Structure 1
């Protein structure tokens, strides 16, 4: 059984209300004791009242010495004592019940005021929590900027803002480094590719040199694809600087046509259902998103398999494919950079493992999400991209 979880506001309200009730109860007991000690003592008051009555009778009838007999005096004393006892009981009972009612009403007001006070005290913490929930790597520009007295809560908010400033600088530096490093690496790779191709084209090149050159070109192409993927990933992680209306169905149709030769070579059938859908975003990044999904669906498939591309409302894009079985617990790792499954996916060295990472990053840059699930009996994946 899960333990009951109480909010801080509820705990503070209970603390305020409990403290008030304890103080009020102590005050009620003290007031009860003071009033009880102030009321006349029953026996002393009864004897005094009877003696006073006897003196008054003696003064009125000085010659009558038998006006008040001892038995009558005892009866009168008992009557007075009973009256005083009932009076004390009524007074104390009335005082006790009225005090309890007043304490209950005041306790209810104390709980209500405690709830309002706790809400006011915790308002800065709600602002901090709300800001923290909205933060993402692509959106580190939010700040709390708490106004108010220079107390512990403002110090906490200012410390949180300072931490966000440092995180924003760190992430921005990292993204610039990835983009700059990837850009600088493209030139030497292009030079290496040219030199290898020139060496292979030489008339006196031996078969061993040509075989080595083919292997070097293959490795070079893979490195170029990885660097290109890093550049796209760094660009999408920085967010969008401009947006334009993009027909996602037309983008998907273009990508499918360009991938037809690749699908035919792999023995994979491509099916599609492209309904009109306009998205506000970057056309280049959106084309890369669709391209990565279609190429992945073809690459990680089987001979005689199929892929299906669906453009619609929500989700905006769904790509299904047949292929190797994908364990459910392994799906989240596929969206991490340089992560592949074991077996066929690990053994395929044609890709750098950035395809789905780029898909997720581009979807996030457009304010959407990307998710996947195993394809069922036919294997493969079902990838869904939601875009606003």
Structure 2
């Protein structure tokens, strides 16, 4: 039996068929019980309401000669004893009623059992058909999942069905495939870009060593090549550290504690002013309201530092840098700079995405700053929004809204 009921369709067929058969059997049993209680009395009443006699019934007129007419049975007056003819007539009526009731019940039982057998066969077929109809979307989902691979993640179920649990399941599966396709695509792009970014400095180092140091180069040339190799090594080290930081932030938070984000932003902003902002002639605007969030202080420091570094690096001479925090959990960093097409903004949050081709010059970023910011924001359940500033200011405005802290 277990071997037969290995499929969900067989189990549903057994369940539906059993329920329909029980319903039909219960209906037949109920009809028989009700008829057994009242069938004899109804037949007896029908038989005894007309009795053979020679007196015409009231309103029937004269009887046809030689033909007996029937009249309703009547109760005897109180104190009157029935005659032998009446007793015999009552006995005949009772026997006739009993025989008619038994025959009717026998015929009803036989017909009911035959009908129940036919109903059982029909119920099994209907249950099998219904189970197939119900499980058809599940079969479509299963076949799609079995067929999926890295090469055809673009396929979707797109179930055409009325709203219901299976429709929601299919739509949820399609949504999961959308996220998987985006994730796999992002991982492929990340791997390809990371390999390219790491291969380029290695090629530069190899060329400098093989070509620049070939033969007996002059000391000045050796010094220049040495500086070049050190710069390339520093760039590679920064890239590796950024990749590690991105990987760490993608893993989420191991622990969280209250962090004064306003004080953290003030410290990072002061360091940025001392290092780069003053040299670029930028005007810095602070609006740091008290803001405490729950998270990892080191990761949040990298988030603020990358935002400020991006705002300074992609600013213009004599431009403006604005940093603000608000008590409702919002951190905002805005800068002036080149005009950016709003359609390009979402791509800037992906790893190794730049508005211009990388030249591997001093001070050039690896294209991971904003993607690290986005990853750290996700780890802290924060919502990051980036939008291009309109002309004439240009640049970007990035807002990071942290979840509200529960009140004590």
The normalised TM-score by structure 1 is 0.49
TM-score normalised by structure 2 residue count: 0.47
Give the structure with higher Rg (CA). 2
Is the helix fraction higher in 1 or 2?
Answer: 1
